[in-house]
Structure 1
Amino acid sequence: MNVCTSSARRLPVRAGFTLVELLVVIAIIGVMVGLLLPAVQAAREAARRMSCSNNMKQLGLGIHNHESTYKWIPAWGREFPLAEYPNDPPNPYLAFGSVARTTMGPLYHILPFMEQVQIFEMFDRRRSYVDPVNMPPNFGTANPAAANPVATFICPSTPGEPPRDYGPYFASVGLDRGPLVMPRTDYAPLRGLHSSFAGNCAGMPATTTHNAMFGSDNITTRWNIKFAEVLDGLTNTIMFGEIAGKQTAFLKRQAIPNVTLLNSFYGDVNVARHLRGYSGNPANPSELGCGAINVFNSDGLLSFHPGGVQVGMGDGSVRFLSDSTDARVVAAMVTRNGGETFTLE
């Protein structure tokens, strides 16, 4: 009798994870990501802040090159005499008064010294920033590219809020020509301390309101400032600072719905601001107070860097002022000839 025998096949043993083990691994990965994410975000913000600082250094260098060439820096604005204003083609906005005879702003004048000649030449510097020749369609005949943003004027830490329409404002004063979008800047030249800031907060400098590096008490006859007039020293005096986020209103870095802040076009004379302090009242963001840094970005220094704000000094350097910097110190740093003494932490 033949007996046939066969050996049982052995299936290969495959190593694997149990469900419990997989859940443990996933939990460990989640913890590691949670630990690393703040470090990654901090590294990204450090890179953005460095890029922002480099932008401000370029502005400072542009101002110094302008001063080296012309022996003065442009004040916040100049009012053209009516007799000198070009009339071919005429400016229909002249009927609205002196605002339509005011020069382009100081940031515009330093464009050639920032390797931005092509943008500088899109505008006619003999004319106001409120002139159809210097306004893109639908309001004017300027190159449509004039509405494009200039990267150097934008801090990468600032949220990417959509551009705001100037059209409703002009419609409110009788110039309804449809939408008008103008490029903004996060960096504001300072023309002085607002009288409310100096008057409401104890220990403030007893000075005039147009006493900063871009200030001028008479925009008809005197619209330039020499470095020699900065008696407090270029190293101690702020030229410009971050008033970031415009045209959106921000209170303590939180966007305020349905509130638009204009005067943020880099060619606008009113991009230069009188520094104010704010109370930080959520019910009334524009309520004045002594908060000088990171409160409200209408006329107060504000950035999206954790812990403070950057300012460009008269010597071209960039400093970081912490949120806790005393308002009196900030005010003293704004004046160009106040003779104050202060200690910066």
Structure 2
Amino acid sequence: MFFNRSRDNRDGFTLVELLVVIAIIGVLVGLLLPAVQAAREAARRMSCSNNFKQIGLSMHNYHSAYKSLPGQNWGTISPGNGGNDDNAFQQSYLIGLLPFMEQQALWEQIANPNQERIDGGTQNPPFPPMGPPQWNGQYVPWATEVPGLRCPSDPGTGAPARGRTNYAACMGDSTDAGHYGSTYISGGAVTTAGIPNWFSGRGRAACRGVYVPRESTAFRDILDGLANTIAGGEIATDLGDRDKRTIASFRNENNNVRNVPLYCRNQNQIDPQRPQFWVSSMPGPATLAASAVGRGYRWAAGRMVWSGMNTILPPNTELCFGGGGTAGSPNDTFGTGSASSRHQGGAHVLMADGAVKFITDSIEAGDATIGNVWRDGTGARAPGRESPYGLWGALGTRASKEVIDQEF
């Protein structure tokens, strides 16, 4: 018997065949990857919606316990209004919800005197019950990340934020009196004596959302119906990239923003080459890179830029603010701050009945060339008038006698 060892009888791939197989695999991966990414985003979006539903359930449980909703820009105030004696009436609605969303331990830290500092030292005297002002950088609860307040689709993390949130309180369809409502503070106390003309009636006329600055509201105040009224909106947090949705154009005049919702756009502050971003010369915070005033940067702070939204411009539009907007504290600043998200084409909103809906960027939003309703407004801007901002504006007001008779 003879064996021919001069040739190898084993079959194999030629180079051309191998390249064809690799090309086919590459095409299949290219086709499959977007589907996998879409499936992952769908899962993240569902998780985000579930987080908002839990907040809605907590809101209803809070109302059942206290017959009111938690306050926005609410808290404690003491004579002198300084130091660590009080929280300067700047807390968000989320603090009151903590015991109802399985955050009892964090609530106990806030509700009781607390000596723990972020730098590891001991605060003496202790921080007061309900905490110090939001700008105190050593109070541990204010910097605590709460997983239930974050949307999985939002990649924002770390400094200069202290504790981010993607879920904001709905403040209505007007910027006027956006931080103060009708409540005047003098000498470290809430007073009705000698109220300046600036405050008189402005909050009652303009603050038409479910949450009113420095005031307590309840379901009985939502005359348009719980299922027809937005209680909260999703917001994307800032990534430090000049995104017009997540860092506000500050230092515009408050009256200009109130009278012209498209003011920042009309002032050419948006980059025409990159319409999602501001131009480099837009009037931002004093030091943008080190700023603490990014959208959603402080879950426990009640200012509009951190935990509020309104229904003036459609979702995922620019944040156009008035006032000072300094790097450390955006005092006296309020403006157009819509819902926003990292999802495609819209953002979630929480209805007052606890339902969560996804609102698209193309929702009918009326006429943005009309100024906001306010105390001295006339015509379409007069107190008590229906929202100038169409279906979107109507959903954001609690008692403007607008009946929603269509699915949205």
Asked if the contact 1:251/1:295 (under 8 Å) is kept, the reply is: yes
Choose the corresponding residue for 1:163, options 156, 159, 163: 159
Residue 32 of structure 2 corresponds to residue 36 of structure 1: yes
Find the partner of 1:293 among 315, 340, 361: 315
Residue by residue, what CA displacement relative to the aligned partner does 1:306-327 show, whole Å, maximum 9, x if unpaired? 1211001111110011111012
Measure, in 2, the Cα distance between the counterparts of 1:323 and 1:158: 18
Is 1:275 paired with 2:313? no
Report if aligned partners of 1:186, 1:246 keep a CA contact under 8 Å in 2: no
Given that 2:144 and 2:162 are in contact with CA atoms closer than 8 Å, whether structure 1 keeps it comes out as yes
Query: Normalised by the size of structure 1, how large is the TM-score?
Result: 0.72
* Structure 1 partner of 2:345: 307
1:340 — aligned with what? 402
Among 290, 295, 299, which residue is 1:266 paired with? Answer: 299
Matched, 1:149 2:145: yes
- 1: CA distance between counterparts of 2:43 and 2:319? 23
Cα distance in 2 between the residues matched to 1:140 and 1:6: 89
Q: Does structure 1 retain, via aligned residues, the 8 Å contact 2:314–2:362?
A: no
- Give the 3 Å change call, closer, same or farther, for CA 335–126 of structure 1 in structure 2: farther
In 1, distance between residues paired with 2:64 and 2:37? 40
Provide the rounded CA distance (Å) in 2 between the counterparts of 1:7 and 1:193: 92
Are the counterparts in 2 of residues 310 and 319 from structure 1 also a CA contact under 8 Å?
yes
Q: Aligned residues, how many?
A: 284
Query: Cα gap change, 1:9/1:232 in structure 2, threshold over 3 Å: closer, same or farther?
Result: same
CA contact (8 A) 1:77 1:103 kept: yes
Offset of residue 140 of structure 1: 6.0
Give the corresponding residue for 1:171: none
Partner of 2:94: 107
Q: Cα deviation per residue 1:277-316 (whole Å; 9 max; x = unaligned)?
A: 5xxxxxxxxxxxxx41112357121111112110011111
Cα distance in 2 for partners of 1:81, 1:146 equals 18
Cα 1:30–1:244, aligned 2, differ >3 Å: closer, same or farther?
same
Name the SS of the counterpart of 2:171 in structure 1: strand
CA contact (8 A) 2:92 2:299 kept: yes
Alignment partner of 1:317 is 2:317: no
1:274 Cα deviation after fit? 4.9
Residue 20 of structure 1 is matched in structure 2 by 16
Task: State the SS of the aligned residue for 1:75.
Answer: coil
Q: Is the 8 A contact 1:49 1:305 kept in 2?
A: yes
Distance of 1:264 and 1:208 partners within structure 2: 29
Q: Which whole-Å deviations, capped at 9, do the CAs of 1:87-123 have from their partners, x for residues lacking one? A: xxx95267xxxx9521522101100000101111222
Letter in 2 for 1:149: E
Q: What is the DSSP-based 3-state SS (H/G/I as helix, E as strand, rest coil) of the residue aligned with 2:206?
A: coil
TM superposition score normalised by structure 2: 0.62
Structural mapping, 1:63-142, within 5 Å: 63-78=59-74, 80=76, 82=78, 92=83, 101-124=88-111, 133=128, 134=131, 139=136, 142=139
Could you list the runs of 5+ residues in structure 1 that have no partner in the other structure?
165-180, 197-206, 278-290
Q: Which amino acid aligns with 1:76?
A: Q
Q: Does 1:190 align with 2:170?
A: yes
- Is residue 307–residue 323 contact of structure 1 (8 Å, CA) maintained in 2? yes
C-alpha displacement of 1:190: 1.3
Aligned-partner SS, 2:357: strand
Partner Cα separation in structure 2 for residue 122 and residue 150 of structure 1: 14
Choose 1 or 2 for highest CA Rg.
1
Q: Using the alignment, how far apart are the partners of 2:17 and 2:225 within structure 1? A: 66
